[in-house]
Amino acid sequence: MQNHDPIIIALDFDSPGEARSLIRLLGDQAGFYKVGLELFTAAGPDFVRELVASGKRVFLDLKFFDIGETVKRATEQVSRLGASFLTIHGSPQVMRAAHAGRESSLLKLLAVTVLTSLDDDDLLEAGYQCGVRDLVHLVVRKALETGIDGVIASPREAVSLRAQAGPDLILVSPGVRSRGASPGDQKRTATPAEALEAGADYLVIGRQVTRAADPAGAVSQIREEIRFALTAQ
Ligand code: C5P
């Protein structure tokens, strides 16, 4: 069992008001929140500062991808906001620039390997010469060489990534669904317990909680599922 809370709730909303309502409803059930492109564009850095000031941890999922100097300077800004995690694309130039921009701050950098909504056919359509598995491993090798703290990866890749990267790389898995929950547009899902058993350190959970009639109940059920599965081994 993890000695940290592995659950990160994705605040995929178009206004800070909706996000605040969910956070209120969840209360002590969640302490780590992901702010992605939609909410960050709507609510801006002040909302991130507000979350951090209220004692929540923030995962800023902005998937930076730009020329090195821009990535470096934008990463410096994120480190000043007090966010705990930031995503960047897994391109070597971007990873090196973000690493330079983070300097000695506590911000952890997570490289995006392959979006969990993509499969081999999608990569082929986009012109890639390799499938998801090979691309994920290449990005992880480059991330390790660059000193990146972790990667975003589908739970289905967690076992082989753990084997490749060792215990220190932070593995964050979106695309997590309890059995019976709707997968939405995710193509490579696993249950929360399967993802943790496979080696994920953190689970990003969105719609299963944010669209639930009782979000706090949904998180509590996920925690129960994890406890049951991991103690039944
Ligand atoms: O609603 P759901 O649980 O599918 O939400 C997953 C969250 O994780 C979304 O905010 C999505 O943008 C994010 N994400 C992902 N796959 C990645 C990186 C981030 O699904 N590779």
Instruction: Classify residue 162: in a domain, yes or no.
Output: yes
Q: What is the CATH number of the domain that holds 134?
A: 3.20.20.70
Please identify, by atom number, the ligand 1 atom nearest to the C-alpha of residue 183: 4
Q: Decide if 46 is inside a domain.
A: yes
- From ligand 1's centre to the CA of 220, what distance in Å? 20
Backbone phi and psi for residue 35, each to the nearest 5 degrees, phi listed first: -105, 120
Q: Which of 65, 182, 179, 165 is nearest to 115 (CA)?
A: 65
Question: For residue 78, is it within any domain?
Answer: yes
Over its length of 233 residues, how does the chain's per-residue pLDDT go in tens digits? Answer: 467 999 999 999 999 999 999 999 999 999 999 999 999 999 999 999 999 999 999 999 999 999 999 999 999 999 999 999 999 999 999 999 999 999 989 999 999 998 877 899 999 999 999 999 999 999 999 999 999 999 998 888 899 999 999 999 999 999 899 988 888 877 778 999 999 999 999 999 999 999 999 999 999 999 999 998 888 76
110 vs 90: CA distance, rounded Å: 9
Report the predicted TM-score, pTM, of the whole model to 2 decimal places.
Answer: 0.93
Q: Could you tell me if residue 71 is inside a domain?
A: yes
Contact of 42 with 66, CB cutoff 8 Å: no
Residues 38, 18: contact at Cβ < 8 Å? no
Q: What total number of domains does the chain contain? A: 1
Please indicate, yes or no, if residue 1 is contained in any of the structural domains: no
Find out whether 33 and 56 touch, Cβ atoms under 8 Å.
yes
Query: Which structural domain, as residue segments, surrounds residue 88?
Result: 7-231
Q: Tokens 């998180």 identify what position?
A: 219
Provide residues with CB under 6 Å of ligand 1. 10, 12, 36, 61, 112, 115-116, 152, 174-175, 184, 186, 204-208
Residue 2 lies in a domain: no
Q: Does a structural domain hold residue 136? A: yes
Instruction: Answer yes or no: is 114 within a domain.
Output: yes
